[in-house]
Amino acid sequence: EVQLQQSGPEVGRPGSSVKISCKASGYTFTDYVMNWVKQSPGQGLEWIGWIDPEYGSTDYAEKFKKKATLTADTSSSTAYIQLSSLTSEDTATYFCALTTLYWGQGVMVTVSS
């Protein structure tokens, strides 16, 4: 059974960075790209980008190119997203997703001083 287990909620100060993890199980981690999706409070879904864990290659939506950095650790089957230079606009829930079928439970990131 495919499972995507994400890390816990984060609180970050404005201007700081946070790093969220997504541990995958139930399939071969390097066989599929991992997507990341943002959902601002009460809003819809925005695709951030994907990472190919086998090669480390990435692709980002334009608006997230300077905000998000995607990485993956094949030894632990874990994907990561780091969000930098946090502002209130980054307060949201962040999901990892394998294709559009399997989703992590989401991580709430709150930016607050």
Partner 1 sequence: DVVMTQTPPSLSVAIGQSVSISCKSSQSLVYSDGKTYLHWLLQSSGRSPKRLIYQVSNLDSGVPDRFSGTGSQKDFTLKISRVEAKDLGVYYCAQTTHFPYTFGAGTKLELK
Q: Which residues bind partner 1 (CB under 8 A)?
A: 35, 44-47, 49, 59-62, 95, 97, 99-101, 103-106
CB of 101 to partner 1, least distance (A): 5
Q: Which is nearer to partner 1, 15 or 26 (CB)?
A: 26
Q: Which is nearer to partner 1, 18 or 22 (CB)?
A: 22
Terminal CA-CA length for the chain: 40
Indicate the residue type of 30: T
Nearest to 48 by CA among 3, 5, 101, 90: 90
